[in-house]
Amino acid sequence: MEQQIAVSRDLTKWPRLLVVGDPITEEQANEIIMRTTNWGFHINDNAWLRLVHGLTGISLDKYGMSDWRETDAFEKSIGNLGLEYLSNSRVASSYIGGPHGWCDWDGTIGCADYNIGKWPEPAEILEEWQKIAAAFPFLSLRSQLVPNEGQSIHGAAVEFTISNGEVEWVDEPEELLTTPKEFSEADILRSVFSRGGERGVSLERLKAALDQVRQS
């Protein structure tokens, strides 16, 4: 029987996501990233957008917007989980910190430098971790949500443990898994002004990852 959250903690508008976990293989990372990416990108790098859509086959209109029907069909074709809060943004992102997520291309599992939103409920986050755990039973990680963009004086509101395809949760854990990380001015300038700052992967690696998931 699936565990349910019986209490409602106020996670606030933009709670900080903290994740620590065991590393995985690059092939496993390919699968996770492809199936947890939201493929309707909103970025400023139009050249990268066209290259990515050339691989996915999703049409772009004259304003550079993805066709939502084709996006939906593509995501279903690769078994995308349709996540709202726990998606990975490793392909492309206009976020001030650049591409980000709790799973990286090299198989590293972990994050502490970005917030999710808006106004998530603990039960919604539990449901998404349950989807992730069921889809990727090789994952072993712990995750917390810290209210007030990671600045809550009370620490984390809730913690989730993912292992062997199952999810357990703890209300108000005693200690933080890791210290929330803030971007330095240099990090922000590098992301905003460097060429390719919205790109999170090479075109070759992206193609290989898509080919892998399509064939699986």
Q: Supply the range of the domain harboring residue 86.
A: 16-215
pTM over 0.85: yes
37: pLDDT strictly greater than 80: yes
Say if 8 falls within a structural domain: no
Calpha distance 203→121 (Å, rounded): 36
Closest CA to 53 of 69, 37, 64, 62: 64
Say if 95 falls within a structural domain: yes
Calpha distance 150→168 (Å, rounded): 22
Q: Tell me which of 152 and 36 has the higher pLDDT.
A: 36
Instruction: Give pLDDT, residue 3.
Output: 56
- Other C-beta atoms lying within 10 Å of the C-beta of residue 149: 16
Instruction: Give pLDDT, residue 184.
Output: 65
Say if 3 falls within a structural domain: no
38: pLDDT strictly greater than 50: yes
Say if 7 falls within a structural domain: no
Q: Which stretches within the chain are classed as H helix?
A: 26-36, 46-56, 68-77, 122-135, 185-193, 203-215
Say if 90 falls within a structural domain: yes
Say if 6 falls within a structural domain: no
Say if 69 falls within a structural domain: yes
163: pLDDT strictly greater than 90: yes
Say if 153 falls within a structural domain: yes
The total of structural domains in the chain comes to 1
What is the greatest pairwise CA distance in the chain? 52
**What pLDDT band is residue 10 in, cutting at 50, 70 and 90?**
confident
174: pLDDT strictly greater than 60: yes
**What pLDDT band is residue 19 in, cutting at 50, 70 and 90?**
very high
193: pLDDT strictly greater than 80: no
Closest CA to 132 of 176, 101, 106, 156: 101
